[in-house]
Amino acid sequence: MAESKANVLAEVNTLPESKTITALRPHAPAVLPSRAHVYDLRRGNNCSDSFYAALPAFADRIVSDIERRAAPLLDGYSSHVESALGQAPRSRGENALEFLVLGMLLARYEGAAQHASRWTMELARELTWVREHSPKAKPLADWARAGIARYCLAPFVGWKGGKRGSAVERLTRLIDWMKSTGEFKQEALRLDNWHSYIAELRPDKATYWLRIAVELFHDFESDAEIVLGSYTRGVSDYVAREHAQLRWREDLLMCAKPAVEYHLNMVAAEVMNRGLRDSFVATGERVVLLPACMRGDRSSQCKARIDGVDMTCAGCDPNCAINRITHEMSELGIGVYIVPHSSGFSRWLARWQHTGVGVTAIACALNILPGGLEMRERSIAAQCLPLDFPGCRKHWDPRGFPTALNEKRLVQIATAHSDPALSGQDGA
């Protein structure tokens, strides 16, 4: 098994990088960074084809490893989600992914949860509610949240938890901390599901499975660095730079995430796309949601049309990627909408809930997992695709620069085109 695993890792890590720009139109220009990207699916080349060639096999390997070590648990959890919680069935791969996410949350954030005081977490939750329900108070709420995050919630992130209390008590504490940060809403909802299932197990069994989850995450961390590490070389420098500047940022917890969380989101995109693929293929109408950070150098003069929550391209800049993609998608009968910022993603998703419309959502790597979980939660037939690199000024670069994606891959996904790289066993 170890030899087979090593061979798979070596094979997917040595795939050649394509030198061809894979866009909807052959002349679509490559977008160059103002400095090294935080992550870069192109690895400094003209396209991200090599990344998408490597990802499916690695996702297969990860799900297979989880299945091998936790099949009985996944059996029980799948039944619990459907019978006890009354939720729609999810693919085996999605349940395996959730278990891996559980391990990541325990390994990365349990120590912080144990060190945070109850009153601090409650205050942080109140401030999160304020920022979401009072636009006028949002700046002040974010300023206060930044202080709480820096001095109360974040200092012990990455510290090993002390395993205080039972498995149920540990998960309760971790969920409370996650909800207080405002950064893990969808992950906390899924952890609530696992909490209710773990509570039904014998205490010793529950503790055992939490340990297995953490061990699987650490295995994933090592393997992902081999296969995907070349795409996240800029993360450590970025994190060090942001911490060195000691900026008062309410998004501190998100921006300080290490490379392994980018890797987990990358695998999540593959696994969740497979789980939702059949429902997406069955849709008769499709739309694409593009982030506003993809607009060109003239984004400050963008003349996008706004109608309620809808924001659509007006074609004002011929060099803008959103303009180009909108034109090509319209020829395929697919609508394109612009999402101004990830914080408004939920508001945008609400309009597609229970409509039978297939949604392809584009986001930076760290928003893939929560976005995918929310679309699944809302029963939206969805697919997701990560940006090749981030560039918005709010989170990643104070100057900002246009982001980009693999447009050939977008066409394959949005049109439900039959492509070997897009299909896989339901278990993955």
181 Cβ partners below 8 Å, 6+ apart? 124, 128, 149, 153, 253
pLDDT in tens, 201-234: 999 999 999 999 999 999 999 999 999 999 999 9
205 Cβ partners below 8 Å, 6+ apart? none
Which pair of structure tokens corresponds to residue 109? 């954030």
CA distances from 106 to 71, 120, 190, 305, 326 (A): 20, 20, 14, 44, 41
Whether residue 180 is contained in a domain is answered as yes
Query: For residue 160, what pLDDT band results from cuts at 50, 70 and 90?
Result: confident
Radius of gyration of the chain (CA): 21
Count of other CB atoms within 10 angstroms of residue 417: 10
Mean pLDDT for 103-119 is 93
pLDDT above 50 (res 341)? yes
pLDDT in tens, 356-392: 899 999 999 999 999 999 999 999 999 999 999 988 7
The amino acid at 266: M
According to the model, what pLDDT value does residue 4 have? 46
CA distances from 116 to 6, 111, 202 (A): 40, 9, 28
pLDDT above 70 (res 2)? no
276 Cβ partners below 8 Å, 6+ apart? 375, 376, 381, 382, 383
Q: Which of 130, 123, 64, 121 is nearest to 97 (CA)?
A: 64
pLDDT above 50 (res 76)? yes
pLDDT above 80 (res 26)? no
Whether residue 181 is contained in a domain is answered as yes
pLDDT above 70 (res 20)? no
Query: For residue 255, what pLDDT band results from cuts at 50, 70 and 90?
Result: confident
Instruction: Report yes or no: 349 and 374 within 8 Å, Cβ to Cβ.
Output: yes
Instruction: Report yes or no: 373 and 187 within 8 Å, Cβ to Cβ.
Output: yes
pLDDT above 60 (res 197)? yes
Q: Can you give the pTM of this predicted structure?
A: 0.86
Whether residue 366 is contained in a domain is answered as no
User: Which residues are registered as beta bridge partners of 382?
Assistant: 359
Instruction: Report yes or no: 412 and 43 within 8 Å, Cβ to Cβ.
Output: no
Residue 211 burial by CB count (10 A; 0-12/13-18/19+): exposed, middle or buried?
middle
Q: Which of 351, 207, 362, 211 is nearest to 289 (CA)?
A: 362
Whether residue 86 is contained in a domain is answered as yes
Element (H, E) at 131: helix 118-133
Residue 163 burial by CB count (10 A; 0-12/13-18/19+): exposed, middle or buried?
middle
DSSP tag of 86 = -
CA–CA gap between residue 11 and residue 402 (Å, rounded): 33
According to the model, what pLDDT value does residue 244 have? 59
Whether residue 71 is contained in a domain is answered as yes
Whether residue 301 is contained in a domain is answered as no
CA–CA gap between residue 219 and residue 337 (Å, rounded): 39
pLDDT above 60 (res 323)? yes
How many domains, in total, are found in the chain?
A: 1
pLDDT above 70 (res 407)? yes
Whether residue 387 is contained in a domain is answered as no
CA distances from 37 to 177, 232, 366, 368, 396 (A): 30, 8, 14, 18, 9
What domain range includes position 106? 50-263
According to the model, what pLDDT value does residue 248 have? 65
Whether residue 161 is contained in a domain is answered as yes
Q: Are strands 310-312 and 305-307 parallel, antiparallel or unpaired?
A: antiparallel
DSSP tag of 293 = G
Q: In what order do the strands lie in the sheet containing 285-291?
A: 335-339, 285-291, 357-363, 382-386
